[in-house]
Amino acid sequence: ELKVEQNPLFLSMQEGKNYTIYCNYSTTSDRLYWYRQDPGKSLESLFVLLSNGAVKQEGRLMASLDTKARLSTLHITAAVHDLSATYFCAVDSTGGGNKLTFGTGTQLKVEL
Amino acid sequence: NAGVTQTPKFQVLKTGQSMTLQCAQDMNHEYMSWYRQDPGMGLRLIHYSVGAGITDQGEVPNGYNVSRSTTEDFPLRLLSAAPSQTSVYFCASSYRQGWGTQYFGPGTRLLVL
């Protein structure tokens, strides 16, 4: 059974600081997704990582994938308040992108 | 494009009642899925479909039925609602080919008393 673990579960940080969210998974997979969810809202796709060593960047967020270590990271650079949200990683267990196992999420709060 | 739409947005049921959560997409996606989101547990896959007429179970299928008669629609049926089914339900869709990014609907909040 595929298990996906994120840490930390909660993260409170000041504006301007850097931090990393970690996503570990238990079985071989080369497709990993990062989503953002604002309170009471749906999920928004951030990144799709499709191979070992993949790195994607958008604004202050950068995601990477190490399939050998079964680890993905989401790095936040110089955080701003607008990044406050819950971030989920999800792993595809089928290779087709339609059967995702989600981590429990990291609730990020960026203090003004 | 409207994307992925879900109805209703909010529903209150009594234990034992049945209902259908509607999901539709206008992007001609082959894949559609249903997830439930509970506090502290992320999203869990209930059922999914890889095309019209084809469905399969996910991680937590008990108490739910699905069918896929058209590419656009993927309804989720609660047969006999239980308080444990109180949750937020998300429908998602994606292309079969390509990156596999799933597009999520706005969600349905369900309260079972």
In the prediction, which pLDDT does A85 show? Answer: 96
In the prediction, which pLDDT does A95 show? Answer: 59
Q: Do A96 and B42 touch (CB under 8 A)?
A: no
> Testing the interface with A: which of B27, B45, B57 to mutate, by most A Cβ within 10 A?
B45
Angle at alpha carbon of residue B16, lines to B11 and B22, rounded to 5°: 40
Min distance A112 CA to chain B CA atoms (Å): 26
**Whole-number mean pLDDT of chain B?**
93
pLDDT at B97 over 80: no
Contact status of B40 with chain A (Cβ, < 8 Å): yes
Q: Is residue A107 within 8 Å of A11, Cβ to Cβ?
A: yes
Range from A11-20, B16-25, B93-102 carrying the lowest mean pLDDT: B93-102
Question: What is the average per-residue pLDDT within B70-97?
Answer: 94
Question: What is the average per-residue pLDDT within B94-106?
Answer: 81
Question: What is the average per-residue pLDDT within B68-80?
Answer: 96
In the prediction, which pLDDT does B15 show? Answer: 98
In the prediction, which pLDDT does A52 show? Answer: 81
Below-50 pLDDT ranges, chain A:
none
Question: What is the average per-residue pLDDT within B44-59?
Answer: 93
Rg, Å, chain B Cα set: 13
Contact status of B34 with chain A (Cβ, < 8 Å): no
> Testing the interface with A: which of B102, B104, B108 to mutate, by most A Cβ within 10 A?
B102
> Tell me, what amino acid is at A7?
N
Min distance B31 CA to chain A CA atoms (Å): 6
B50, B99, B106 member nearest A42 (Cβ): B106
- B29 C-beta neighbours (distance < 10 Å), count: 20
Label residue B101 exposed, middle or buried (CB < 10 Å: 0-12, 13-18, 19+).
middle
- Give the phi and the psi of residue A83 in degrees, each rounded to 5: -80, -5
* Chain A residues lying within 8 Å of B48, measured CB to CB: 98-99
Contacts of B96 (CB under 8 A, 6+ apart): A96, A98, B29, B30, B31, B50, B51
Range from A23-27, A48-52, B14-18, B29-33 carrying the lowest mean pLDDT: A48-52
pLDDT at B1 over 80: no
Q: Is residue B17 within 8 Å of B81, Cβ to Cβ?
A: yes
